[in-house]
Amino acid sequence: MRDKNRKPVVMKIKPGISELAITPEKASDYIYTLLNFASQHIPKVKHKETPLYILCTAGMRILPESQQEALLEDLRTDIPVHFDFLFSDSHVEVISGKQEDDAVVEVQVPGSENQEAVIRKRTAGVLDMGGVSTQIAYEVPKTEEVAKNLLAEFNLGCDAHRTEHVYRVYVTTFLGFGGNAARQRYEESIVAKTELENRLLGKHTGETSESPYLDPCLPLDIVDEIQHNGKTLLLRGTGDFDRCRVLIQPFMNKTNETQSSLNGVYQPPIDYQNSEFYGFSEFYYCTEDVLRMGGIYNVTKYTNAAKSYCATKWTTLKERFDRGLYATHADLHRLKYQCFKSAWMHEVFHVGFSFPENYRNLKTALLVYDKEVQWTLGAILYRTRFLPLRDIQQENFKANHYHWRGFSFVYNHYLFLVCFLVVLLSILLYLLRLRRIHRRMPRSTSSSALWMEEGGAALKIPGTP
């Protein structure tokens, strides 16, 4: 859909719905803004046939199940009261991590080993980093053995038997590896480290502004603080990008096993020379919002820009922000943690996912073919993949129905006129027939009498002597 300015109809609100865990009764009020926006852009006559899905991701998955259910129940109960979208209880859920050039691949319908394989164009892999989790997904050949819990096999075609739409995808989500969650884990490690050193060595690091904790992952000379158990730890940034990378590498939780990914999870081999990946969400924001280099990823240019940003004094960065030199949606929170997130993105990509430093086929993006690509689009495509044929049939019926309704006034008059003429013609034909019958009546009567007389005479002849 497009708005009146020909821009995609998109709206986002913050924070995530998981922030309402303690007040679940406010969940429907929170999401009302989004649904009201949708209802204004979708024609009212289409509301009852427009499916509404509310799918929650990593932020909800880390909540206790009781809190998740309380939030979902509030949505299930209140939304139908205010909106007429096609909506049922099953349309609200916390989804699993799986649901978040001319090279070709060989594909085959799962379970149909005797069927001839189909050759089609290669697909692109996806990297997505949110605030809480990070995902990777790419197609793997049928010859590659992958554990079922890391594999998704599905058909995105309308016809379940069309093998060219069958995809065998390695897909994994990593909770705690999103940009904000990573920063939180990093800060927790700082707190634990300083508390231990202060207690054992008698230091007072972070307790006063004169002895702050020196954080290389914050811009130069910025002052920040960490709240923990009622205490405040004071930080001052030193803006050392390389040092920051070294400090956060242990948070990748890599193992020494071959083909190991983040958290020691198995990752199938990637043909780096014959592959293409897109980086969404934080991969795009990290490269574009402040560094203004979204698009084709070049590690040398990226690291140089990140180093320069980290080493720039906070007062200078703030002045540039006030002059509007960064992306319009970049805020002070982005500026403050850009240094950390730049380093985190670099380490996740090159250390966690093991992409070589000279990899040239990563594109960070917000739009693909002028459409915003996020997990929500993938989820809705997957859930409605068998709807189009039914919808087309329904729309054709409705189109014909509405067509007749639109011209019903004119058609009714034509129909009445035709019926009137038919009835009138029938009456005339009937009257003409009656007239012919009346004209023939005398002649018919005479003929009948003559026949009777001759017949009677004939009958009398055998009885004559």
Binding-site entries: 131-135
Residue 401 to residue 268: CA distance in whole angstroms:
53
Question: What's the chain's length in residues?
Answer: 465
Residue 70 to residue 80: CA distance in whole angstroms:
17
Identity of the residue numbered 150: L
Cα torsion at 78, 79, 84, 86 (round to 10°)? -120
Residues ≥6 apart with Cβ < 8 Å to 279: 127, 128, 129, 287, 297, 349, 362, 363, 364, 365
Identity of the residue numbered 236: R
292: left (phi over 0), alpha (psi -120 to 50) or beta: left
CB 226 within 8 A of CB 187: yes
Residue 229: CB atoms within 10 Å: 6
Using CA atoms, how far residue 342 sits from 303, 310, 323, 327, 401, in Å, is 8, 9, 22, 16, 56
Q: Is 100 a catalytic residue?
A: yes
- List residues bridging with 260 in a β-sheet: 266
Single out the catalytic residue among 25, 49, 93, 100. 100
Handedness of CA 87, 90, 93, 97 (dihedral sign): negative
Residue 321 to residue 328: CA distance in whole angstroms:
10
Q: What are the binding residues for ATP?
A: 131-135
* First and final C-alpha spacing in the chain: 109
Range list of H helices, 142-256: 179-201, 241-248
Residue identified by tokens 């250390």 is 351
User: What does the DSSP assignment read for 393-417?
Assistant: HHHHHHHHHHHHHHTHHHHHHHHHH
Residue 132 to residue 180: CA distance in whole angstroms:
6
- List residues bridging with 107 in a β-sheet: 118
Catalytic residue numbers, as ranges: 100
